[in-house]
Amino acid sequence: MTSVRGVPGGTAAVALAACLFGTLGPASRAAYDAGLTPLAFALWRAAIGTVTLAALLGLLHARGRDRVRWRALPPRALAALAVAGGASLVLNLAVFSAFERTSIALALLGFYTYPALVAGAAVALGEERLTRMRAVALVLSLAGMAVVVLGGATGGGPFDALGFGLALLAAAMQAVYVLLGRRGFRAIPSEEATFGVIGVTAVGYLALVLVTGSSELAALPLRNPAALPALLWAGIAGAGVPALLFMLGIRSIGATRTSIVALVEPVFGTLLAALLLAEGLAPVQVAGGGLVLAAAALIQRGGEDAEPHEAVSGAA
């Protein structure tokens, strides 16, 4: 049975998930080079992620885990899960579209405003307190992320208001997902909840592929397997596994902490691009990465920031 205990365990789960999500840049580029579109890539990633989580659930059931009786679940929890799936679908399409219309740096800056949105919403809803330690960590992480992203921006081109607006839309959808993941469908175990969210996105992307008449292009990997390694990585290590770790982290350390620690993703993605794509890494970017890591360390501090440690498991 999957479990995450306390702030250190939850922080580690979110940090690992963020690093895995950070590998999607090179993976998507490999898929695009093989002829796929962002929509086709999103469909394959979600579909493989769904199969991965289905296999995990099958293993858990074979080892004695009770099956979830979906019909017996509270309708409110099922509705919240459906909303989270819809938010996930919109945020991915919005991010991919933003990447097409504006610079990646500006798109990332727009998207990674979501930790601030989550913190503000959590306080407004009475879910969490924005203590001094969390406020400092939030400022450090956002500043560090901005330094890393802007430090790697070159050229840039004209500002595209629609592209940046799409990035902000993606940030809002991510905030919705994070906030719902904490308590919106708490009655649904973490594994089944993650499976449900990714399954909803997979069905949604399939419907979009059929409606847009792009099924021929989406089936390209079946005729030309050049993109399959990247798609398998994106679906397993870039969707199924990190999505479950992220959900466990949200339920263990809360929405605000999770969002701050998740800012490791653009830092790790930048480092990975430097290693795999020969994109230079400036000293100022290294300093920015240090700020994000410092913020993640602050999140684990006790005292006024401490929340009751929860054991979050598949039976949550």
Instruction: Say which amino acid occupies 193.
Output: A
User: Residue 75 contacts by C-beta under 8 Å, 6 or more apart in sequence?
Assistant: none
- Segment 154-182 mean pLDDT: 80
- What pLDDT, on the 0 to 100 scale, is given for residue 285? 60
- What pLDDT, on the 0 to 100 scale, is given for residue 128? 72
Q: Is residue 195 part of a domain?
A: yes
Q: How confident is the model at residue 310 (pLDDT cuts 50, 70, 90)?
A: very low
Q: How confident is the model at residue 242 (pLDDT cuts 50, 70, 90)?
A: very high
**3-state DSSP percent of the chain in helix, strand and coil, to 5:** 75, 0, 20
pLDDT above 80 for 4: no
pLDDT above 70 for 99: yes
Stretch among 1-15, 44-58, 218-232, 300-314 having the lowest mean pLDDT: 300-314
Diameter of the chain measured on Cα atoms: 57
Q: Is residue 315 part of a domain?
A: no
Q: Is residue 316 part of a domain?
A: no
Contact 313, 3 (CB under 8 A): yes
- What pLDDT, on the 0 to 100 scale, is given for residue 90? 93
- What pLDDT, on the 0 to 100 scale, is given for residue 52? 97
CA 111 to centroid of chain Cα atoms: 11
- Segment 25-33 mean pLDDT: 83
pLDDT above 90 for 177: yes
Q: Is residue 310 part of a domain?
A: no
Q: Is residue 174 part of a domain?
A: yes
Structure token pair of residue 156 = 């840039």
Q: What are the tens digits of pLDDT across the range 243-294? A: 999 999 999 888 888 888 887 887 777 677 667 766 555 666 667 666 666 6
Q: Is residue 312 part of a domain?
A: no
Q: How confident is the model at residue 113 (pLDDT cuts 50, 70, 90)?
A: confident
Q: How confident is the model at residue 156 (pLDDT cuts 50, 70, 90)?
A: very low
CA 116 to centroid of chain Cα atoms: 16
Partner residues linked to 4 by β-bridges: 312
Q: How many domains does the chain have?
A: 1
Q: Is residue 202 part of a domain?
A: yes
What percent of the chain is modeled with pLDDT above 70? 78
Contact 98, 166 (CB under 8 A): yes
Partner residues linked to 313 by β-bridges: 3
- What pLDDT, on the 0 to 100 scale, is given for residue 1? 46
Structure token pair of residue 169 = 């839309």
Q: What are the tens digits of pLDDT across the range 50-76? A: 999 999 999 999 998 889 999 889 999
Place of tokens 């498991």: 313
What percent of the chain is modeled with pLDDT above 90? 36
Place of tokens 């904490």: 182
- What pLDDT, on the 0 to 100 scale, is given for residue 279? 52
Domain hosting 269: range is 3-305
Contact 230, 48 (CB under 8 A): no
- What pLDDT, on the 0 to 100 scale, is given for residue 28? 83
pLDDT above 80 for 32: yes
- What pLDDT, on the 0 to 100 scale, is given for residue 167? 84
Structure token pair of residue 30 = 């490999």
- Segment 150-169 mean pLDDT: 69
- What pLDDT, on the 0 to 100 scale, is given for residue 307? 44
pLDDT above 80 for 105: no
DSSP assignment of 230-250 equals: HHHHHHIIIIIHHHHHHHHHH
Q: What are the tens digits of pLDDT across the range 123-146? A: 777 777 767 776 777 777 777 767
pLDDT above 90 for 94: no
Q: Is residue 313 part of a domain?
A: no
Average pLDDT, the chain: 81
